[in-house]
Structure 1
Amino acid sequence: MAPVTAHKLGPGTLVFGETGTEQEFGSHVTRCEIAPSWNEEDPIPTLSGDQYVDEGTFEGNITGEFLQEYSIDGLVHWTWQNTGKTLPFKFKPRNDAALEFSGMCVVRAVTVGGDVKTANTAEFEWRVLELPEILTGSGV
């Protein structure tokens, strides 16, 4: 029997955008996850008594939270500039592990501001268009 193991999230990477115009989120992200779900129809009974079960369709989101910064090069501004765009992403939960996810998502603007004299965060929840590809490149 294999020993029980668990990993903590990070240090890892989270990148959005096309090659050459990528926006790195990892240095500001405090939480990130891909949350898959499936839209499944009810089984359809057939004359023979069997049932047809459709495989369903993927529905999911990439969600998280990041520290806000208000510069023109910051993530808050980037989300507002790219809201509504379908862009690629790559999420690597740990740099020392091989597992990485790659997919397409629809970017939406995030909340700006919060409590005064506080390092405010912004949550994001962006629809992932299809089941992300699992990459198993370099890593331990």
Structure 2
Amino acid sequence: MHLLVALDDSEPGWAALEFACDEHADDEVTAVHAVDPTDSGYGEVAHLGPDVLMERQQEAGQELLATAEDRAADDGCPIETELVIGQPADAIVDYAAANAVDRIVVGSHGRTGFSRVLLGSVAEQIARQAPVPVTIVR
């Protein structure tokens, strides 16, 4: 079985990786981090320029994935990693469809009510769009 762990630098993201390693240590696990080119802090694009901002986001993503490899290896669960560019839910679903992924594991940030409606939920978007089963970890 090939699992994709949608990883961001959050407690639910790390919980998703831990779940995948604990429950599927003998399976192929790929941690995927999506860099969103439209995501920038206040004024960063104007200050840094879009190319520098994208470069910094990619470097941060690579560091996150290196940390994921180390954490998984410490748990006896070697993983592959992949950095993708795009809106997180779309990029994760596209990667799963193009790479024979059998299940997606993603952390839930636990938003409810109005904040969930206003902000959306990447985990929910993945679950609705994914061509494979999705496990949402809290």
- More strand by percentage: 1
Name the structure, 1 or 2, with higher relative contact order (CA <8 Å, separation 6+). 2
TM over 0.5: no
Q: TM-score, normalised by structure 2?
A: 0.23
Indicate the structure (1 or 2) with the bigger Cα radius of gyration: 1
